[in-house]
Structure 1
Amino acid sequence: MADLPLSGVRIIAVEQYGAGPYGSAYLADMGAEIIKIENPKTKGDISRQTGPYFLGENDSYFYQTFNGNKKSLSLNLKSEQGWQVFERLVKSADAVYNNLRGDQPAKLGITYDHLKSINPKIVCCHLSAYGRDNDRASWPGYDYLMQAEAGLMSLTGEPENGPNRFGVSMVDFMTGAVAALGLTSAMLGAHRQGKGRDVDVSLFDVALHQLTYPATWYLNKGHVTERMPHSAHPATVPCQWYPTADGHVFVMAMTDKFWQALVDEIQDARLSEARFVGFAERRDNRTELNEILDECFSARTTAQWLEAFQGRLPIAPIYDMAQALTNPYIEQLGLKQQVSHSQNPQMQLLSNPIKIDGQRLQANAAVARGQDTQDLLEELGFDRAAQRDLSDSGAI
């Protein structure tokens, strides 16, 4: 797809590991030129060394997950000559994106105040653990800490067990996506108004924001939402998982129409009693209703329930990872793609969930550290002799 929405946009990414690269991966897949800055004094992004599965030297499947369609520039931003390269790059860029600790962007000089004299339209997006404007700015932080302090763990898991984290780093990924939205919006504003700005997104802020309606309930009514058995919805019943003859299904009877479809299929007279007639009654009699439904759903297999309810009641099988990734439905949707890598020509990755004009976005393998350095330096006006000087000084 030659005319992707962000084609012609140049974004400098001072990023590593998960949240930052996840956000910029969306921008790269949408056509933006993401120039990933990797320090020549190290092996680059730390996730290149994140195991347990590797693709030759200084590359990993973890790294490949988040860094396709990006360029890699070997550059030491803390060296004087490296900074000169960076300034030239900023002149040609639309944005500078980072996921450094909150106190680092100002120290490095990658804020709008530092860069506006070079490029007044530059947008500087800062993804950090706790933000840049409070007494935790210098704190390191990770996804699981945010799940803990923002109350998300307290809502996850069965009530008889302790709090649980999400199975994957959802706060990292949500924050990356929110940062990509903020950055794209600010670039649109800069294009229209001729002036860039800073955009700040933090893991903690995004994690807390995910409390959504339970937060509104508490802030206005003092209601504390708690973990429910079978991962149930706090207010709507039935909305939880039930055992089947050979596994589990998740059922969401979120409307009276769906509730009636459930009643009509199961054909158990107890479900038509007055104590279950409406939302409030089902909520007030949750325990009794779920005892009946546990019994009813256990009578058939998962496949039988899916066939019985398809299109009439929101229902899904509860799969483990192997089942989820071999589900024929994801093949039908094109949610897996083959990406050629020098160490694995048949490498498989999940597809970007965004479609453009009905087409899945194409991934390419992440490149080796510094692979695009020479081409970018030549574009910026550094001849071979200047490049040797940069290399000798440790700037690249």
Structure 2
Amino acid sequence: MAKVFEGVRVVDFTQVISGPYASYQLALQGADVIKLEHHQGGDQGRAMMAGGPDFLDAGQSSLFMAFNSNKRSLGLDLKHPGARDVVRRLVESADVVVENFKAGTLARMGFGYDTISEWKPNIVYCSISGFGATGPLAGKAAYDPVIQAHSGMMTLTGFPENGPTKVGFWVTDVAAGIHAAYAISSALFARERTGQGRRIDLSMLDAAIGFISPMVLHYLNCGIEPQLAGNGSAASSNAPTVYPTATNMIQIATATQAQYEKMCDVLERPDLKTDPRFAERLTRMDNGPALFEELSRTFATRPAKEWEKKLEAVGVPAGVVNTVPEMLRDEQVIHRHVVQTVDPPVGLAKSMAMINAAFHLNEGSPSVVSPPPHVGQHTDQVLGEVGFSSADIAKLREDRVVG
């Protein structure tokens, strides 16, 4: 059965993470994503997290590969006057345009929404930027750490003694990418009913604030400002939640009083149910360090997996803190086919592992089917599809418009 977005063409002006992540979600579901990148160097992400000289020579990196499988690459110098005709023909054949330059940058190059929508009136045009297309910070450059800081997210992460801490991956980039893919999907659905395209103005800052909305609302509606809680949680029934064992660390998520008491029973520590410091949720939060010390001594007596089984048997959510290699050996991860192997990308000699979509459909499930492209790997193919002759393409190459 055909995948959901088969027949949908996406002209992708994006780089690094937020935009590539968005278009990758569409590519996983069958969209024909044409990645436009400069023919000398390409997407900046190609040089980030490169696995060695062979990866750099091939223009591939772990970061780039994570978000660019199933796409085709067209090498194009957007600043060259000859690029205008190339982009126009691509847009006329497309359903979606997505970009993540600083707000206003692509418009100054001549490829803003007003121009693109003249070429293709029912286009879905998605702009992802750090702070959005309007407001006093529109046009300000932003990477994920800047947005984590500006949004207040960093003040929710870390231990009080160490201060605000950045989340260990590009969470606001991914948040923006998820929202962009959803917005594009919604706009395509609306176009089926109305025939009209949409302009999408997506802010990484807005997406980040949406991700932490419970903490924001707790302050707005209750006047309670979030505080650093280490591995604790404002919604948990006890303050600390991660403990050392005889093997790995273990994460305990006792969200209710009943779960806390069941945990105490499993640990054979009934005293922790009656001790006035720990008997109730608020007192546990007030005495977090003391509770952590008590529980750590007990958890350290057995392996993490043993504790996990005992706790889950009585309905207490618990999980071993895995390393990445341990996670990849996990039976559930293997069963779900999270990892997919694809053919070697151009310039590399071995097959590459990729991560599949996070959901399955009963038919036409999203999947990785092709490796991330080399810079300009599909230039001639795509140009031919939009009406350029072999002679036209040769001239574009000679003039360094494409590569």
Instruction: Report what 1:390 is aligned to.
Output: 396
Alpha-carbon separation, structure 1, partners of 2:270 and 2:62? 53
Instruction: Report what 1:50 is aligned to.
Output: 48
Alpha-carbon separation, structure 1, partners of 2:366 and 2:321? 26
Residue 360 of structure 2 is aligned to residue 355 of structure 1: yes
Instruction: Report what 1:264 is aligned to.
Output: 265
Q: Deviations over 1:130-161 (max 9, x none)?
A: 21212322321100111112111122111111
Instruction: Report what 1:232 is aligned to.
Output: 232
Deviates more, 1:286-295 or 1:243-252: 286-295
Q: Is the 8 A contact 2:163 2:228 kept in 1?
A: no
Instruction: Report what 1:292 is aligned to.
Output: 294
Alpha-carbon separation, structure 2, partners of 1:335 and 1:316? 19
Q: Is the 8 A contact 2:236 2:256 kept in 1?
A: no
Query: Structure 2: which amino acid aligns with 1:210?
Result: F
CA shift, 1:25, in A, is: 0.9
CA shift, 1:180, in A, is: 1.0
CA shift, 1:262, in A, is: 1.6
Alpha-carbon separation, structure 1, partners of 2:34 and 2:43? 13
Say how many residue pairs are matched.
Answer: 393
Alpha-carbon separation, structure 2, partners of 1:52 and 1:31? 27
- The correspondence of residues 1-396 of structure 1 with structure 2, limited to 5 A, is 2-40=1-39, 42-53=40-51, 54-55=54-55, 56-229=57-230, 231-238=231-238, 240-273=241-274, 275=276, 279-280=281-282, 282-283=284-285, 286=288, 288-311=290-313, 312-342=315-345, 343-357=348-362, 361-396=367-402
- Tell me the secondary structure at the aligned position of residue 128 of structure 2: strand
Q: Is the 8 A contact 1:112 1:123 kept in 2?
A: no
Instruction: Name structure 1 gaps, 5 residues minimum.
Output: none
- Tell me the secondary structure at the aligned position of residue 117 of structure 1: helix
Alpha-carbon separation, structure 2, partners of 1:105 and 1:295? 58
- Tell me the secondary structure at the aligned position of residue 35 of structure 2: strand
Q: Is the 8 A contact 1:14 1:37 kept in 2?
A: yes
Q: Is the 8 A contact 1:355 1:361 kept in 2?
A: no
User: Percent identity over the alignment?
Assistant: 29
Query: Structure 2: which amino acid aligns with 1:345?
Result: K
Q: Deviations over 1:23-56 (max 9, x none)?
A: 111110011110111223x321122233442434
Q: Is the 8 A contact 2:69 2:368 kept in 1?
A: no
CA shift, 1:121, in A, is: 0.8
CA shift, 1:256, in A, is: 4.2
Q: Deviations over 1:172-227 (max 9, x none)?
A: 11111111111111121122211112101122222222221111111122211111
What TM-score do you get using the length of structure 1 for normalisation? 0.92
Q: Is the 8 A contact 1:354 1:361 kept in 2?
A: no
Q: Is the 8 A contact 1:71 1:372 kept in 2?
A: yes
- Tell me the secondary structure at the aligned position of residue 126 of structure 1: strand
Q: Is the 8 A contact 2:3 2:366 kept in 1?
A: no
Query: Structure 1: which amino acid aligns with 2:271?
Result: R
Alpha-carbon separation, structure 2, partners of 1:119 and 1:341? 36
CA shift, 1:17, in A, is: 1.1
Alpha-carbon separation, structure 1, partners of 2:108 and 2:378? 26
Q: Is the 8 A contact 1:96 1:110 kept in 2?
A: no
Q: Is the 8 A contact 2:47 2:59 kept in 1?
A: yes
Q: Is the 8 A contact 1:111 1:198 kept in 2?
A: no
CA shift, 1:277, in A, is: 5.5
What TM-score do you get using the length of structure 2 for normalisation? 0.90
CA distance 1:252–1:61, shift in 2 (3 Å): closer
CA shift, 1:291, in A, is: 4.0
Deviates more, 1:166-175 or 1:302-311: 302-311
Q: Is the 8 A contact 1:69 1:365 kept in 2?
A: yes
Q: Is the 8 A contact 1:112 1:122 kept in 2?
A: no
Query: Structure 2: which amino acid aligns with 1:385?
Result: A
CA shift, 1:354, in A, is: 2.1
Q: Deviations over 1:112-131 (max 9, x none)?
A: 32222221110110011121
- Tell me the secondary structure at the aligned position of residue 310 of structure 2: helix
Alpha-carbon separation, structure 2, partners of 1:166 and 1:284? 25
CA shift, 1:81, in A, is: 2.7
CA shift, 1:244, in A, is: 1.7
CA distance 1:322–1:179, shift in 2 (3 Å): same
CA distance 1:64–1:284, shift in 2 (3 Å): closer
Q: Is the 8 A contact 1:12 1:35 kept in 2?
A: yes
Q: Deviations over 1:311-353 (max 9, x none)?
A: 5211011123332333343223222221211524332222221
Alpha-carbon separation, structure 2, partners of 1:63 and 1:122? 27
Q: Is the 8 A contact 2:157 2:166 kept in 1?
A: yes
Q: Is the 8 A contact 1:339 1:347 kept in 2?
A: yes
Alpha-carbon separation, structure 1, partners of 2:146 and 2:227? 19
Q: Is the 8 A contact 2:237 2:256 kept in 1?
A: no
Alpha-carbon separation, structure 1, partners of 2:47 and 2:263? 50
